[in-house]
């Protein structure tokens, strides 16, 4: 269990460190500008199987979370739901206990889970993106447990080849503790610190803010649907 405590701690450090990485994210050469918020309506899901483990994940390669930890006994913390604002499905995130020591937040991020990476480096956050939106929008429902707080975080970054690090050029963050039993819109301004074009985007949807200390409140549920950007 100690090994996985270290693993989860490392994951949360990645999430709340403005997503600065030390390697560039390559933009595909065949279509470098047609990289939008893929799958943001969460209507299309595919079945994933690994041994006896089976669960649904968003179609495409844009979104992933920590469900793969179920291979070693972890909880399923994200799933599709027909309780959608619009369309066939929406995303449902739930914070769940893992044994007596850990509570895993419901999390989905723009990235993928790589089981072949070193333990603690499996959740690769960041997707190619080269646009400058001004606002991040969507619809959510939230059923917090014990005054929990949801977090929606976005960062636009650009790789600095000279310094060999990733510069954060814009961020947006939304938090809320209120119970929302019906879908409610959110609109977050994206705040730029550098007037330049990004090369990647990092989006994190989290059902428990305390998940960063592995103290998320068991039972907090966040529904997310119809994510979009506003451009000037």
For 209, residues 6+ apart whose C-beta sits below 8 A from its C-beta are 148, 149, 150, 151, 175, 216
- The angle at the Cα of 204, spanning 202 to 209, to the nearest 5 degrees, equals 140
Tokens for 144, please give them: 């917090």
Question: What pTM did the predictor assign?
Answer: 0.84
Tokens for 18, please give them: 């403005």
Of the ranges 55-69, 166-180, 204-218, which one carries the lowest mean pLDDT score? Answer: 204-218
Distance of alpha carbon 86 from alpha carbon 175, whole angstroms: 23
Please identify which residue in the block is written with the tokens 């914070």. Answer: 95
Q: What is the pLDDT of residues 107-155, one digit of tens each?
A: 999 988 777 776 556 677 889 999 999 999 999 999 999 889 999 999 9
Q: What is the pLDDT of residue 231?
A: 86
Q: What is the pLDDT of residue 177?
A: 94
Q: What is the pLDDT of residue 96?
A: 93
**DSSP string for 101-148:** TEEEPPEEEEEEE-TTSPTT--EEE-EE-----SEEEEEEEEE-SSS-
Q: In 10 A of CB 120, how many CB atoms? A: 16
Q: What is the pLDDT of residues 64-84, one digit of tens each?
A: 998 988 888 889 999 999 999
Q: Mean pLDDT over all residues of the chain?
A: 82
- Domains located in the chain, CATH noted: 2-24+39-230 (2.60.120.890)
């Amino acid at each position: 269990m100690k090994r996985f405590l270290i693993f989860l701690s490392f994951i949360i450090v990645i999430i709340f460190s403005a997503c600065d990485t030390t390697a560039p994210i390559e933009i595909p050469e065949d279509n470098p500008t047609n990289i939008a918020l893929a799958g943001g309506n969460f209507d299309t899901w595919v079945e994933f199987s690994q041994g006896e483990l089976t669960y649904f994940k968003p179609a495409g390669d844009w979104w992933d979370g920590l469900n793969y930890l179920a291979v070693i006994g972890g909880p399923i913390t994200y799933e599709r739901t027909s309780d959608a604002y619009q369309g066939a499905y929406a995303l449902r995130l739930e914070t769940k206990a893992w044994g007596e020591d850990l509570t895993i937040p419901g999390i989905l991020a723009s990235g993928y889970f790589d089981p072949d990476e070193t333990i603690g480096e499996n959740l690769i956050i960041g997707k190619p993106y080269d646009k400058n939106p001004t606002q991040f929008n969507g619809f959510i429902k939230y059923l917090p447990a014990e005054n929990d707080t949801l977090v929606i975080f976005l960062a636009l970054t650009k790789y600095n080849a000279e310094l060999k690090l990733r510069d954060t050029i814009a961020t947006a963050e939304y938090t809320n503790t209120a119970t929302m039993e019906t879908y409610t819109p959110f609109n977050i301004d994206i705040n730029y610190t550098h007037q330049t074009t990004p090369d990647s985007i990092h989006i994190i949807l989290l059902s428990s803010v305390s998940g960063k200390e592995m103290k998320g409140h068991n039972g907090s549920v966040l529904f997310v649907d119809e994510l979009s950007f506003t451009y000037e």
